[in-house]
């Protein structure tokens, strides 16, 4: 999909102040510093969306010091369209800044028909990275993730494919996503033996979904691997949207697989109580939810989505107030 609005195709000049305010955290024991907030392109960047809005959001992100853009082969809809749109915008706006960007993509979920378009085989992963690079018109990505564990493919095959992708120069670093602690530990040991830089685990983490705290964060620490958290706002539950019920047309109202009315109703008392604490801190609930995740030393970055530049700016304000008192943490923990 091309950008057809000639009035808005003037050469983009990034803000000279883009690095003045953003916080950067080291990913595990690697040399990579990630912005405390990274931009995920799961929603709002496909062919069904307005590419000019996507372009505006990406420009705003970079001007705010967000250097990390996170994609996957099947982001859209339709599948592949987020990568293709990103490639178009990269060419028009960000080509001079490629070395300032940390670009990620993934493979592991359903992508194309037949037995080779899903999960974790060598066949799927190597085909997928080649397709992704073509869609984005890139020679390499900075990190390539296996998007989810494959229960039927030997982990040695999956990690071996990631290792070869790095060795071939198609990615600089390897990552995994959605792995349990035991699986992540095994993956880390395989990649270490293969002498491949494994620097990030992308995990779902929010105030309402704390599974990573049991074992995963310690496992990553032991292996020198950073964590990047996705769904920090629990698909919108940790925002102002559902404080007074379920709005018509919202994700929950549509009863989508990842958010439905029952889930919101089961958590509404917690959400309202957390919002009270956020107000006392002088923050929006969404900003407090992001800050609460970033207090974890193993979390290098929090992935946020944004449907507009104004929403992105609002979330970045979470970085203005990252500290919590012991009393606040106790109150939050009691609620959760």
Identify whether 77 is preceded by a cis peptide bond (ω within 30 of 0): yes
Global pTM reads: 0.94
- Check residue 293 and report its DSSP letter: H
Strands (E), the chain: 24-26, 33-35, 37-40, 68-70, 102-107, 141-146, 171-177, 198-204, 226-230, 299-304
Q: What is the pLDDT along the chain (336 residues), one digit of tens a residue?
A: 445 444 345 589 999 999 999 999 999 999 999 999 999 999 999 999 999 999 999 999 999 999 999 999 999 999 999 999 999 999 999 999 999 999 999 999 999 999 999 999 999 999 999 999 999 999 999 999 999 999 999 999 999 999 999 999 999 999 999 999 999 999 999 999 999 999 999 999 999 999 999 999 999 999 999 999 999 999 999 999 888 877 777 777 777 767 888 888 899 999 999 999 999 999 999 999 999 999 999 999 999 999 999 999 999 999 999 999 999 999 999 999
Which pLDDT tens digit goes with each residue over 78-117? 999 999 999 999 999 999 999 999 999 999 999 999 999 9
What are the structural domain ranges in the chain? 19-236+293-320
- The architecture that CATH gives domain 19-236+293-320 is Alpha-Beta Barrel (3.20)
Q: Which stretch of DSSP H or E encloses residue 134?
A: helix 122-136
């Amino acid at each position: 999909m091309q950008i057809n609005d000639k009035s808005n195709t003037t050469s983009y000049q990034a803000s000279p102040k883009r690095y003045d305010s953003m916080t950067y955290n080291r990913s595990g024991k690697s040399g990579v510093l990630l912005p405390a907030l990274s931009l995920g392109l799961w929603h709002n960047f496909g062919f069904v969306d307005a590419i000019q809005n996507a372009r505006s959001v990406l420009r705003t992100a970079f001007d705010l010091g967000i250097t990390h853009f996170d994609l996957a082969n099947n982001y859209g809809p339709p599948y592949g369209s987020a990568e293709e749109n990103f490639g178009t915008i990269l060419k028009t706006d960000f080509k001079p800044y490629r070395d300032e960007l940390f670009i990620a993509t993934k493979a592991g979920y359903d992508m194309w028909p037949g037995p080779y378009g899903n999960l974790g085989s060598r066949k799927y992963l190597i085909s997928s990275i080649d397709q992704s690079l073509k869609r984005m018109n890139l020679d390499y990505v900075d990190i390539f993730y296996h998007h989810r564990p494959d229960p039927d493919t030997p982990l040695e095959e999956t990690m071996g494919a990631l290792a070869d992708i790095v060795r071939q120069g198609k990615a600089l670093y390897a990552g995994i996503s959605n792995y349990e602690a035991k699986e992540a530990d095994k993956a880390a040991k395989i990649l270490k033996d293969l002498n491949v830089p494994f620097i990030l685990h992308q995990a779902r983490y929010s105030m309402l979904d704390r599974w990573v705290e049991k074992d995963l964060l310690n496992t990553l620490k032991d292996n020198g691997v950073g964590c990047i958290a996705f769904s920090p706002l629990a698909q919108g539950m940790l925002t102002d949207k559902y404080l007074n019920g379920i709005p018509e047309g919202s994700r929950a109202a549509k009863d989508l697989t990842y958010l439905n009315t029952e889930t919101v109703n089961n958590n509404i008392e917690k959400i309202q109580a957390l919002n009270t604490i956020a107000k006392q801190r002088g923050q929006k609930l969404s900003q407090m939810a992001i800050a609460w995740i970033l207090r974890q030393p193993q979390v290098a970055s929090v992935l946020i989505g944004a449907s507009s530049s104004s929403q992105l700016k609002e979330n970045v304000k979470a970085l203005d107030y990252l500290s919590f008192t012991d009393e606040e943490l106790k109150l939050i923990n009691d609620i959760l």
